[in-house]
Amino acid sequence: MAWVFLLIASLMELVWAVALKQSDGFTRFWPTVIGLSVALLSVVVLTLSLRDLPVGTAYAVFVGLGALGVALVGMIVLNESTSPTRLLFLALILVGVVGLQSVES
């Protein structure tokens, strides 16, 4: 169940990061509220995963999946760069996340 909590927390990180981008520096009310609320909730759910997972592994996976998700949304929705080098390094993040999950299972 800890890995499920960690995946949910990572997906929430994706939501709050994109919402904060849409908040335009906290000048737009609803994106700001959504971003800050989901950020707090993601940390709460991350904490639930820490009951059973080492903090180093859990946090690395949380940040890695969040960064990967935000980068993919940026490329798909926000028209950010999809250079081969960027894709390579995002793939390396994914390899690291999968590796950490496999050694901690």
pLDDT at res. 103 = 87
Return d(Cα 71, Cα 86) in angstroms, integer: 9
Please state, in angstroms and as integers, the Cα–Cα distance from residue 2 to each residue in 45, 54, 77, 85, following that order: 9, 10, 30, 33
**DSSP secondary structure letter of residue 64:** H
pLDDT at res. 105 = 65
pLDDT at res. 31 = 98
Q: List, for the chain, all residue ranges whose pLDDT scores fall below the cut of 70.
A: 105
pLDDT at res. 6 = 97
Range of the domain at 45: 2-104
pLDDT in tens, 50-61: 999 999 999 999
